[in-house]
Structures are given as C-alpha cells and as structure tokens.
Amino acid sequence: MLPIIIKIYSRVIKKDIRISAFIYLTMLTLIAFITEIARTGHGCLIVTILITIILKVIFTKDVEKIRVASMMHDIGKLMIPSEILDKKGKLTLEEFDIIKTHATLGEEILHNTNGTIMECAKVIALDHHEKWDGKGYNGKKGSNISIEGRIVAVADVYDALVSKRSYKEA
C-alpha cells in the first residue's frame, strides 16, 4: 500500500518546482513514520513532535490555518444522502457521481464565509480530490491545484487506505 502512495505522490511532488527536495524527503519521512506508528504503535510522541516541528519549518504561518481549514474538507458530504455515504459494497456509477459532487458542494456551503481560515477551507473543500493529471473530481490539473488541496489530498488518500470504511476493512 505504501509504495503506491509514494509512487503516485512522488510524481506529483517531483513535477512541482515550488516544492524543494528537502520538503519531498521530509514528506517521505513522515509517511514512513506514520506507517511505523500504524503498524506497531511505536514512537507516537516522537513522531507527533517531529511532525509539528517539520510542519512549522515547512509552512510556518500556514500550518495552523491548513490544520483548522482541513477539518472542513468533506463538509459537502452533509448534502449527500446517508444511504450512499454508508452503503456497504461497491457504489454504482450514478452513486459515485453523486459522491463526487461533495467537493463542489463543500465550496458552495463555505462560499459566503470570510477570513483566511475560511478562504483556505473553501479551496481545500474544492481541491482535495484533484489529481495532477486532471482526472480528479473537478478536472483541475497540475499547478492549478492549490498546495493546500494537494496536502489534504495526500492525507485523505492515506487515511482512506488505512482506515475502516462502511464498504471495506482497514
């Protein structure tokens, strides 16, 4: 599972000239640490401290903004019927099309809000399912995807892979 994450996102990170080699290696290190915690539970405090320090170094002012704003990344799911969200088993194409609307719905829910955190939340809600090649939910491509959306996308994919869902075990 981890090699898939590294393969997908290393291509994205390598293509984005705004992300330095240091940040690339730091993100890989974080993935390794998170995987170790998931597998063994060892070193949780150390990793928590490490992640905090690394994020402060990388994003300084934006860490707290992204952390708080990312909590609203799936707010659009409030508008998706629970029968679809909680369905056990594979979604139909029509159901998946409905699920995909949650990104746009999230941005619409947050549309009339103000402030830097809420502006960030709108961007994250809209961009967190975008893919570098343009095959995401809304078709944004490459550097047109916000850095905040890309950060949350990595975390969201990892969480989806390692967490239990109504339709799969962890």
155 and 72 in one domain?
yes
- 88 in any annotated domain: yes
pTM > 0.85: yes or no: no
- Based on the residue annotation, tell me whether 168 is a catalytic residue of this protein: no
Instruction: Find all residues with CB under 8 Å of 110, minimum gap 6, and list them.
Output: 72, 75, 118, 121, 122, 125
C-alpha span between 24 and 70 (Å, rounded): 21
C-alpha span between 60 and 27 (Å, rounded): 16
**Average pLDDT for 144-148:** 91
- 145 in any annotated domain: yes
Q: Which domain holds residue 1?
A: 1-42
Per-residue pLDDT for 7 more than 90? Answer: no
**What are φ and ψ of residue 42, in 5° steps?**
-80, 135
Catalytic residue of the set 15, 77, 88, 141: 77
